[in-house]
Amino acid sequence: MFPNLYLFDTHIRVIVPKAVDRTEVQLYVYALEDVPEAINRSRYRGHERFYGPAGFGAPDDIEVFTEIQTGLQATGDPWNLLNRGQHRERVVDGEAIGHTTDEAPQRSLYRAWRQAMAEP
């Protein structure tokens, strides 16, 4: 499942690599059990407004994915720097904590990836 499955408050996102330069992103909206129908309806409408054809979520995310892929084609440096806020990152109960503007989540993902790749 890691790193291709992401659980959000309103949907599940699955990243499906298709080729070196091609990735499919699948979204699955889900309903909550044992709540009034109005709550799920509101969640669906909010999801549609944000991720629908006229929304800002999907086009923005797809543009980010596209630009990342474009950037990865560059030949300048053999690495990507993800050090924004690293100087103030702290460890609490074994977990790295950063400010909301830091790249702590990105560093965390790569730490988990490195750990998963090191396991037999």
Q: What is the pLDDT of residues 63-96, one digit of tens each?
A: 888 898 888 788 777 677 889 999 999 999 988 8
Residue-level pLDDT at 72: 79
Looking at the structure, do residues 18 and 52 belong to the same domain, yes or no? yes
Looking at the structure, do residues 58 and 113 belong to the same domain, yes or no? no
Looking at the structure, do residues 54 and 108 belong to the same domain, yes or no? no
**Three-class SS state of 34:** coil
Tell which wins on pLDDT, 6 or 62: 6
Query: In terms of DSSP H, where are the helices of the chain?
Result: 37-51, 57-72, 104-118
Looking at the structure, do residues 55 and 26 belong to the same domain, yes or no? yes
Looking at the structure, do residues 69 and 93 belong to the same domain, yes or no? no
Tell me the pTM: 0.64
What range does the domain containing 24 cover? Answer: 1-77
- Domain count along the chain: 2
Going by C-alpha positions, the residue among 3, 21, 1 that lies closest to residue 109 is 3
In this predicted structure, the answer to whether residue 42 has a pLDDT above a threshold of 90 is: yes
Looking at the structure, do residues 85 and 73 belong to the same domain, yes or no? no
